[in-house]
Each structure stands twice: as C-alpha cells, then as structure tokens.
Amino acid sequence: MAAGDPDFDFDFVVVGSGAAGMTAALTAALRGLRTLVLEKTEFFGGSTARSGGGVWIPGNADLRRCGVTDTAEQASRYLGHVAGEDTPAALRAAFLEHGPAMLDLVVANTPVSFTWVPGYADYYPEAPGGRAGGRSVEPKLLDARVLGADLASLRPPYLPAPAGITVTQANYRWMSLGTSHPRALTTTARVTARMILSRLRHRQLLSMGQALAAGLRVGLTRVGVPVWLSTPMTGLEISGGRVTGVRALRDGQPVVVRAARGVLLATGGFERSAVLRSRYQRAPIGTDWTVGSPANTGDGIEAGVAAGGVLALMDDAWWGPSIPLPGGPVFCLAERSLPGSIFVNAAGERFMNEAAPYVDAVHVMYARHTDDNPHIPCWMIADQRYRNRYVFTGVPPRKPLPRRWYASGAVFRASSLAELADQIGVSAEGLAKTVKEFSEFASAGKDAEFGRGDSAYDRYYGDPNCKPNPNLAPLTQPPFYAFKIVPGDLGTKGGLRTDEHARVLRDDGSVIEGLYAAGNTSALVMGRSYAGPGATIGPAMTFGYLAALDAESGS
C-alpha cells in the first residue's frame, strides 16, 4: 500500500462481519463515516449466520407492535437481578436505553424486520421483572434473492433444515413435538406448504440467523460499505497511545488500513482456539464441542490485549449441554426439556433440573464434576415412548437413529436399564433407583428434587399434552437410550472489558483511544448469566451501534 492510498484510508474500520460488526458498520456509514468491514473468511456472518437469530432487547418497537407490555423499570430490575453481580450498572443501562433505537435503525435501513417469539420466556421468568411471555424477537422470513451475488458468501447455517424447508424459532418449538400435539402437525403442514409455494415462486426463504446476517449485509451494500472477505486482521496500528488502524492480509499481502476515527474489534469469541481455551477455561475443554463459527479464534481479543486492554469473564461461555455426534456437536434445546428423559452422572444419579437455562446446566456439570464421580460427560437417558413422540435433533419420531451415531460411541440403546448402564459405564443400581424415583415424581407431576417444570421457561419446550407436568413422564417403555452429554457452547462470552460506549479499557479503567470492542470479543453485559433468548445477539448489536455513535462523535 502506498502512503495515503485512498483505498486503505477510512474513518472507521470494523473487524468481523457478525451481528456486532455489521450493525456497527451500518450505523457508522449512516452517520457519514467512511467505513470498511474486514472479514477473515470467505463467508460473512460468523456465528450470527449460524444462529437462531433471536434478539433480546426489552421494550423494542416490534415487541410493542405485537402487544407485549413491559416497562423500562421492569427490564432494568430483571437485568440487574440476573447479571448484576458481574456487570457495571452503566453497561446494563446503556444496553437497555439504546437497544430499541438500534433495532429501529436496523429495521429502517435493511430488509430485516422482526417479530415477537410468542411465549419464549425469559430464562428466569419468575425473577423480579422477568417475563414469562418473553422479550425475544426473531427475524421475519427474508427472500434470499435480495442478496444477489452475495448470497454465495453467506456463512451456511449450523443445522440446515432438510428438503429446503425454512423453519423459524416459533416453528421449531412446535415441530419438536413431533406427533404428540395437533399444533405440531399443523405447524409442519404449514411449513411444508410454505416451502412448496416458495419453490413455485422461485423464492428461497431465509430464517433465523441467516435472515439477520443477510439483511445486515444488504444494508451495508445500500450504504456503500465495502466488506473485504478473506482479509484477516493481523494486528493494530498504534500511534501515541491511540489506535490508528489495522494490519491485515489482503490477497495474501500485508496491508495497513488507516482508521481516523477508530477500530471496532468484532471478531467473535475464542471458541475455536485450543490455546486460549486451555489457558483460560477449566478442563476438560477443547474446540470440538462448540457450535460457534469455525474461524473464531480470539484474534480481536489478542489484538486488544496487545494494545493494553484488560480481559474479563474468560472462563465462561454461552454454554449448553451438547451431544458430540460424528457430524459435529448438537446443542440440545427441546431435547432435554421434553418429558421422558433425564440426565445422570456416573453414579447414575440426577444432579440438575434438565430443562434449566443452558448456561446454568453446564455450570452445574463443571461444579459437580470430580474424578470419583464424573459429570463430564453425563448421560441423557430416554425411553422408547420419548422416541415415539418427539423429534430428536432432526430425526422424526419412531424413525431409527442413524447407525453412525451408535458407532461413534455418543449414543447407546438397550432393552433394559441395567444393560444400558453397563454399556455406558454408569452404576446400574444408581440408575435403577433414579429412574424409579423420577417416574414417581412424573406420575405425581412434581419434581420434588430439582423442580423441573416449575418455571415457565422449562415449560416452553415441554409437551402441553403431557399431564400433569409438561416436562415430566416416567421412563418405562424399553428399549432405553443413552446420549452422551458434554459441555458444548454457542461461543465464548469473555473478552475485552469495555465501557458504555464500547471503548476498550485498560486495567486502570482508562480508555484506549480509538479502540472499541463488541459482541463476543468483549466481556458481555450478561455477565455469567443469559437473560433470555437472544441475549447474546441483542447486546452484540447494541454495543456495535454504540461504538459507531461514539466514533462519529469524535471523542
């Protein structure tokens, strides 16, 4: 690059093309900043494009339009309760105050629009200020043709739905019930009809994170922001204590890109870095159990640290119990809430409410794990009744599970609990006792040990036709199944500590001029918790937006 080359001279440089990065770039360009997005891979979208696309932003216009009643005071009380200990109040206040305006900006300047996910409860709906009806919105379906040639560069989803079917979050809830509920059948019929109709109209519908990432990308095209794919940032340019640009590899050649108003690090988490995971996280850990985006190796976090930034929450992640299947881990959602299944440790004992929020579930796995009584892996035990009624990680009810799952050692089946226990190395006596007790709880409709089904969040993924408790059914019908459960995640949540303008902070609390971080590159406003569906993407977008506003204001 020649000095002063206008091709490498910008006001605001965004590193990473996920929700945080693209929202920031859109905002900056709308505010008149000459903006560039650098993306390491040949695809844009990161984990955002792989995701469910849920966005948790209390009080946003789409929630109001859908008739959700809420107050700022309630939302603040709730967030303070679930994340208060680990996040500064100023960060929580900034998120709640600016989130709705950010979403308005996205809706006004991209083809994305959002709708409430009815009843998708906050993860702690019974906590002060919590909402059983939920505060989460998801993108409405988007015709992929709006992307034009950029469609080829959209990062593929984590689990593509079979036969070109497009499923929303709201659809998934009902479709997971398989054949056990009339609403499951009508939803499946509606989704199939929609697929046929869109084929006839030569439309390709995108949902969830695909729709969000695609819509944001179209917004960038409209405002003229270039997105340089296959251009990894390799470091930051620093002059007089201020970040003035980034170093990157463009067409394999080292280049320096100037950023007069600042650089936003939005490179996602470090879920794919074995080195950082083993440095900061508790064993057993690795990079095989995450479903986060393949290139999220913590580059932004390391660059921020090299510039003097301080880290927080690095031991934590957006955890979730996951099954390590041969094609990649499956992050369990409805599977562990539906009735007729339990989790057990090596002693064959239950040790948690299996339907609990997924971050909490893995916190319990780590907290209880010992050499004498391993909880990693633990095992999800289910019976044939469960398999006859519900979809299991995409496999329809009654359909045999793929042979390669059994061959991999992640799934077992046996005609008796004792035989199953023997196969998976779990105490047969313990398992028999646990299943007997649990089946008594299920018949009574009350989990006296762990309260499964007490929370509205548990019940969201339960079976409303299962009485008296939608999350509990006895395990009585052989054959029995065991699924290996490991501490997977959607990505990591620790990173650079930032202030309410998303400015990266040093250990002494001072600001590194010209350097911002948002999304999973930053230590997030949720602290160790997860307030509700969409509570990673909502803050990622909001702090990306706030970074751009701050860069524009020139502070």
Ligand X SMILES: Cc1cc2nc3c(=O)[nH]c(=O)nc-3n(C[C@H](O)[C@H](O)[C@H](O)COP(=O)(O)OP(=O)(O)OC[C@H]3O[C@@H](n4cnc5c(N)ncnc54)[C@H](O)[C@@H]3O)c2cc1C
- Residues lying near ligand X in the complex (CB under 6 A) are found at 15-21, 38-41, 46-48, 50-54, 158, 232-233, 266-268, 291-293, 295-296, 299, 318, 490-491, 519-520, 533-537, 540
Least distance in angstroms from the C-beta of 155 to ligand X: 7
169 or 187: whose CB is closer to ligand X?
A: 169
Closest approach of ligand X to the CB of residue 298, in Å: 8
CB-nearer residue toward ligand X: 15 or 147: 15
Q: What is the DSSP letter of 336?
A: G
- Element (H or E) spanning 317, and its range? strand 317-325
Rounded to the nearest whole angstrom, what is the least distance from the CB of residue 161 to ligand X in the complex?
Answer: 13
Round to whole Å and give the CA distance between 515 and 507: 15
Q: How far is the CB of 53 from ligand X (least distance, A)?
A: 5
Strand partners, 264: 14, 516
DSSP 199-244: HHTT--EE-HHHHHHHHHHHHHHHTT--EETT--EEEEEEETTEEE
DSSP, collapsed to helix, strand or coil, labels residue 541 as helix
Secondary structure letter of residue 476 according to DSSP = -
431 or 541: CB nearest ligand X = 541
Give the CA distances from residue 507 to residues 87, 308, 496, 498, 526, in Å, rounded to whole numbers and listed in that order: 15, 8, 10, 11, 20
- In the chain, the amino acid numbered 136 is S
Minimum CB distance to ligand X smaller for 232 or for 304: 232
Cβ atoms of 543 and 332 closer than 8 Å: no
What DSSP string describes 34-46? -EEEE-SSSSB-H
Which residue, 173 or 413, has its beta carbon nearer to ligand X?
173
Rank residues 91 and 417 by Cβ distance to ligand X and give the closer one.
91
Q: How far is the CB of 346 from ligand X (least distance, A)?
A: 29
> Using CA of residue 113, residue 119, residue 122, residue 125, what is the dihedral sign?
positive
User: To the nearest whole angstrom, how small is the minimum distance from the Cβ of residue 323 to ligand X?
Assistant: 14
Instruction: Return the number of the residue (233 or 344) whose C-beta is nearest ligand X.
Output: 233
Q: Shortest gap between Cβ of 285 and ligand X (angstroms)?
A: 17
> Across the strands, what pairs with 115?
138
Cβ atoms < 10 Å from Cβ of 196 = 11
For ligand X, the closer CB: 130 or 268: 268
Strands (E) in 347-410, as ranges, are 378-383
Compute the least distance from the CB of residue 215 to ligand X, in Å: 14
H helix or E strand, kind and range, residue 537 = helix 537-553
